[in-house]
Amino acid sequence: MLDKQHILKRFLSYVKIDTESDPNSDTTPSTEKQWKLANKLAKELEAIGLSEVRIDDNAYVMATLPSNVKHDVPAIGFISHFDTSPDFTAANVNPQIVENYDGKDIVLNDEENIVLSPNYFDDLLLYKGQTLITTDGTTLLGADDKAGVCEIVSAMEYLVKHPEIKHGPIKVGFTPDEEIGRGAHKFDVAKFGAEWAYTMDGSQIGELEYENFNAASAKITVHGKIVHPGYAKGKMINSMYYAQKFMKGLPADETPETTEGYEGFFHLHNIQGKVEKTVLNYIIRDHDLTKFKIRKDTIKALANDLNRRFDKVHFEIEIKDQYFNMKEKVTPMMHIVDIAEAAMKALNIKPLIKPIRGGTDGSQLSYMGLPCPNIFAGGHNFHGRYEYVPLESILSATEVICKIAALTQERYQ
């Protein structure tokens, strides 16, 4: 039986440490404050009895739980990231505990009238009667992905204390900067030493994912011309007006808020504009590689068309691939998905096998030689003030890790 209060205390200790990453930094980790949790994790892994605990110069933490059987079993891994998204502040996280949730509105912050309501977030109703961990409405929570970190550490601690659960060698890894797309960039797959791994970075209980978006960024710089507005006729070129023409040139019904499932999108996530120069930052996403290429070509064609139509203004484009669909690397080893699915079913958890509408460290690691499906960590409404996680989901994910370890050993008996 897992110690519910012990695991809750562990999770709360993690989320109270600010580990927000910074996309504008060139260092790894991108923020110095991530070291605080990285060092804490390294010490904690040693304290619970893992071996080969190490933290490298870039704050990647790795450790090993040795096999407790005599026959050969492939080394498997579990990976999570400890940074939080720069989309919303992670400073001074003050978690709130809602015992025996009754299915009604949860007032996160009475003073600012911030309410977590099932009328808007209907997933809340899945967790009536459970213990919810929420924010106080002024920060994100950090369940993405400190819930995953907590689950891995807690599972390893449980396996150490319960040697009757037979398992092969287990590798654990914790990464910085996943939220800014760099979590796997300096991950040493060879040093990690696993044949395959699982990221604990999904949302709703039961999620099991081995497909994700192909992803690219697109930066469109619109160059105009500034002159005194009193003498501007025939001379001024307002780049912001022309930037609007670019935005309107993309399909209005292919955005994150209008798509689901396997549908891809263009997402304008940042604008910086003045008369002389406007910069549009997009992300491009699609599960299908051919459609992904078409989306990138659409961006290029639109910019080229506008350059031809408006010769006084110049549209400059820069497109960079970020990561690719892990399906190509995982499907040749579908037994690793089958093991995770069997583990959930053994624990009476209904597997929800679906594509990730995003990416994880696992999508990049799969292309680095470490096939890496994604498993639920339990949180909801990531990257904002309405984030929450049921404690029971954290406990269930911890049990899934232990069960995967046991089933992998049984497969190779």
Q: What is the mean pLDDT of residues 178-206?
A: 95
pLDDT score, position 310:
94
Catalytic positions: 83, 178
- 208/373 Cα distance (integer angstroms): 7
- 174/77 Cα distance (integer angstroms): 11
Reduced to 3 states, what is the DSSP secondary structure of residue 176? coil
What are the CA-CA distances from residue 384 to residues 124, 136, 148 (Å)?
16, 11, 18
Nearest alpha-carbon partner for 287 in 238, 214, 361: 214
Per residue in 137-151, pLDDT tens? 999 999 999 999 999
Spatial contact of 172 and 45, defined as CB atoms under 8 Å apart: yes
Amino acid at 342: A
- 36/182 Cα distance (integer angstroms): 19
Beta-carbon count within 10 A of 307 CB = 14
Confidence check: pLDDT of 213 > 90: yes
pLDDT score, position 311:
86
Beta strand 76-81 with 170-175: parallel, antiparallel or unpaired? parallel
Nearest alpha-carbon partner for 223 in 177, 280, 140, 171: 280
**Percent of the chain at pLDDT above 90?**
96
**What is the token pair recorded at 27?**
């260092």
**What is the token pair recorded at 367?**
């292309």
Confidence check: pLDDT of 231 > 90: yes
Confidence of residue 260 (pLDDT cuts 50, 70, 90): very high
Amino acid at 353: I
pLDDT score, position 358:
81
pLDDT score, position 97:
98
Q: What is the pTM of this model?
A: 0.89
Per residue in 100-133, pLDDT tens? 999 999 999 999 999 999 999 999 999 999 999 9
- 113/12 Cα distance (integer angstroms): 24
Give, in degrees to the nearest 5, the angle at Cα 12 between 9 and 15: 155
Per residue in 4-38, pLDDT tens? 999 999 999 999 999 999 999 999 999 999 999 99
| Local structure of residue 326 (DSSP, 8 states) | T
Q: Kindly report the average pLDDT of the chain as a whole number.
A: 96
Per residue in 268-288, pLDDT tens? 999 999 999 999 999 999 999
What domains are there in the chain, each with its CATH number?
4-211+325-411 (3.40.630.10), 215-323 (3.30.70.360)
Nearest alpha-carbon partner for 259 in 224, 229, 288, 217: 288
